Amino acid sequence: MRYSEVVCKAAGIIAVCVAAPLVFAQGPEPGKETSGLVPRAKPTEYQAQAKAGKVTIAADFSGHGFPTVDAPVSSENFVAVEVALYGPEGTKLKIEAGQFSLKINGKKPIEAQPWGLAAKEVKDPEWIPPEPAKEKGSGLSTGGKEPGAPPPVTPKPPVELLRTWQQRVGRSALAEGERTLPIAGLVFFQARGKLESMKTVELVYEGPGGKATLQLQ
């Protein structure tokens, strides 16, 4: 009986170890492991500013590129807004990503999404995938590739590298909970399309500090 218990426990440990590298890739809980970005000296150093009661909201629209604390990453399916909140010295404010929404081209507001979702498909724009393995030559004039054969599959980034990129997003996301101002970080919204097609972009804040709309583009 004791031997069975030991075997079960050992099997459980092995299962956890095998699955561990994929846990982060599936997205941790929102607000966990986040520290945000360093707030700039004053709100006017951002693209747009607006008052919400005693709190000043400032923001920059980052588009599909995420300016993380370590190095930039990008996403085709999400856009990011760098948000900063300022207030009188000692001001504390409850912050949630859900307090923000984004209006693109005057359409229905897009609700902010947990950073874990935005992190799933990010990539480093400077990462160059290795060349796919070439097929052995068959002596044909096609260079060894049979006519009609599908193009080689582009290699995907290793799990550990993907995890590193995701951690950049997590460390740069706007920290949630009751926080002392000033505070800054990235907020993410699911939106595809080229930036050129986004003629107008508005960030809407509605939280304990009040309401505010920032014209970002």
Strands 183-190, 78-86: parallel, antiparallel or unpaired by DSSP? antiparallel
3-7, 8-12, 31-35 — most confident range:
31-35
Upper half-sphere CA count for residue 209 (Cβ side, 13 Å): 30
pLDDT above 70 for 68: yes
State mean pLDDT over 193-198: 92
Domains assigned to the chain: 27-128+156-215 (2.60.40)
The pLDDT tens digits for 146-173 are: 666 676 666 778 788 889 999 999 999 9
Supply 187's token pair. 């907020």
Of the candidates 185, 199, 165, 195, which has an alpha carbon nearest to the alpha carbon of residue 72? 165
Looking at residue 158, its pLDDT comes to 78
The pTM for the full model equals 0.75
pLDDT above 70 for 32: no
pLDDT above 60 for 85: yes
Looking at residue 19, its pLDDT comes to 36
68-72, 122-126, 156-160, 203-207 — most confident range:
203-207
Of the candidates 186, 212, 205, 214, which has an alpha carbon nearest to the alpha carbon of residue 64? 186
C-alpha distances out from residue 207 to 60, 97, 188, 210, Å: 19, 10, 17, 5
Residue 5: pLDDT band by 50, 70, 90 thresholds? very low
